Amino acid sequence: MLRVSNLRSGYGKMVVLQDVNINVREGEIVAVLGPNGAGKTTLLNSIFGLATIHSGEIIFEGKPIHKMSPHDIVRAGISYAPQLDNVFPNLTVVENLQMGSFIRGNDPTIKNDIEEIFGLFPEIERRRNQKARTLSGGERQMLAVARALMSKPKMLLLDEPTAGLSPKAGASLMKKIKEIRDRGVTILLVEQNVRRALEIADKGYVLVSGRIIKEAIAEDLRKIEIEKLFFMGAQ
């Protein structure tokens, strides 16, 4: 579904990623693991049209998207829940979800889709008329993922969805992510918590200092000490 080939990207003249190659098949959860500053967020930003592509290509469903705007990438079927600034704090939960469906115009099924989202995330359904700024950290992250789903994407990019959450809230959100995949949405997941990510992922990539240093199925990655690779790859 998604192929990133020989990607060299960053911000302006600054290069962050060097010769990055990843592949995501339809129906997979693929985890990108690595230490802080490795370039994980830059990878997602590159896919979503928010970074500077110096060379390489990004192919989604057989079509190049690396020269497209984020707006057009959403229309192509990719949605993004970034780690920070991922909800509209002064809008209610329902209004945030409505904003997530902006590319669908006056689609009459939006209202039903909001109710379906609430079925997946009952925690935020109880807060449906509250401003997003009043939600707990876990509820805000659920809302961010839910908002991203309102464009009805084929692929969902998630950047550190459990960052700052309690172990209980983080585990709950990971279960939701797995359920989203089971409903037919392919997921590319950046996650700092290695073990938690590999519990739900099909395969993973280890990204260190802007380069992929290991690729393997999740089962094999669970058998090694990933954190040691972080330091080895940085040397």
Domains in the chain and their CATH numbers?
2-234 (3.40.50.300)
Question: What's the confidence (pLDDT) of residue 227?
Answer: 73
Q: Which residues pair with 33 in a beta bridge?
A: 206
How far apart, in whole angstroms, are the C-alpha atoms of residue 143 and residue 125? 10
Contact 147, 93 (CB under 8 A): no
Tell me the torsion sign for CA atoms 187, 193, 196, 199: positive
Q: At a CB cut-off of 8 Å and minimum separation 6, what does 162 contact?
A: 141, 169, 170, 173, 174, 191, 192, 193, 196
Question: What's the confidence (pLDDT) of residue 164?
Answer: 83
Q: Which two tokens stand for residue 47?
A: 């896919």
Whole-structure pTM value: 0.92
How far apart, in whole angstroms, are the C-alpha atoms of residue 165 and residue 193? 11
Question: What's the confidence (pLDDT) of residue 40?
Answer: 96
Question: What's the confidence (pLDDT) of residue 232?
Answer: 59
DSSP string, 185-233: -EEEEE-S-HHHHHHH-SEEEEEETTEEEEEEEHHHHTTS-HHHHHHHH
Question: What's the confidence (pLDDT) of residue 92?
Answer: 97
Give the length of the chain: 235
How far apart, in whole angstroms, are the C-alpha atoms of residue 145 and residue 156? 9
β-strands 211-217, 186-190: how paired? Answer: unpaired
Strands (E), 110-173: 155-159
Question: What's the confidence (pLDDT) of residue 181?
Answer: 96
Burial 76-102 (b: 16+ CB within 10 A, else e): ebbbbbbbeebbbeebbbbbbbbebbe
> Tens-of-pLDDT digits for all 235 residues of the chain?
999 999 999 999 999 999 999 999 999 999 999 998 999 999 999 999 999 999 999 999 999 999 999 999 999 999 999 988 899 999 999 999 999 999 988 889 999 999 999 999 999 999 999 999 999 988 999 999 999 999 999 999 999 999 888 888 888 999 999 999 999 999 999 998 888 999 999 999 999 999 999 999 999 998 887 777 776 544 4
